[in-house]
Amino acid sequence: MSYLQSIGLYFLMIKDMFRKPTKWSVMRSLILKDIDDLVIGSIGIVAFISFFVGGVVTIQTALNLNNPLIPLHLIGFATRQSIILEFAPTFISIIMAGKVGSFITSSIGTMRVTEQIDALEVMGVNSLNYLIFPKFIALMLYPFVIAIAMFLGISGGLIASVYGGYAPMDVYITGVQLDFIPFHIVYAFLKTLIFAFLLATIPSFHGYYMKGGALEVGKASTTSFVWTSVFIILLNYILTQLLLS
């Protein structure tokens, strides 16, 4: 399949995803299951990574501020900017492309291999709406996960700063509050919503349209991770250029 065909098929999939909706009584249970699998099930790994990466960012910043003329509160400032602007929305999304994206591709791909999708179509169910729309709705809660990542990243930096002896708590908090621009939060969550859409649709596309057997399911999961990461990084550059420059 050529790249142009794939792009066209992707947008047709998105259009058909909203067509002929499944009954709400069925859709509600599908959405709740996907919220549990994709959002709540990811909080643990996101919290662990965010806390310790925040600590590492703080330590590396402190070790590079070796000039006595540079105020220590810049440690908190640099940590806040790094976590809010890039680490939480972008790099957590790339990690989620591996965890959530692979799960979506493998689960839908397995249904394709075992002909469960064909069975849904025979019963008159819009399989795209049945399989992909609940994941799309569930991942609209993804900014909640990113908010946790931001909080824990800055908190991890605070712990590292205080117990590592790099800056006292009040100095670090002063740096976190220094020159705060509320639009940076809007920018981060706007990116997060767009990345959530990519996380829901690109892995679903690779799982839904895959061909072959069990071996191809694994290949489709790898391919979906690569393409999701590529588009996240590409859109990150474009959105940063549009919104912050």
Is the pLDDT score of 184 beyond 80?
Answer: yes
pLDDT value of residue 178: 87
Query: For the stretch 76-91, what's the b/e string if a residue is b when 16 or more beta carbons lie within 10 angstroms of its beta carbon?
Result: bbbbbbbbbbebbbbb
Structural domain boundaries enclosing 175: 3-244
Is the pLDDT score of 217 beyond 80?
Answer: yes
User: Which of 30-34, 40-44, 114-118, 139-143 is predicted with the least confidence, judged by mean pLDDT?
Assistant: 114-118
pLDDT digits (tens, 9 = 90+) for 106-140: 999 988 888 888 888 888 888 888 989 999 999 99
pLDDT value of residue 1: 58
Number of domains into which the chain is organized:
1
DSSP of 111-164: HHHTTHHHHHHHTT--HHHHHTHHHHHHGGGHHHHHHHHHHHHHHHHHHHHHHT
Mean pLDDT of 42-69: 89
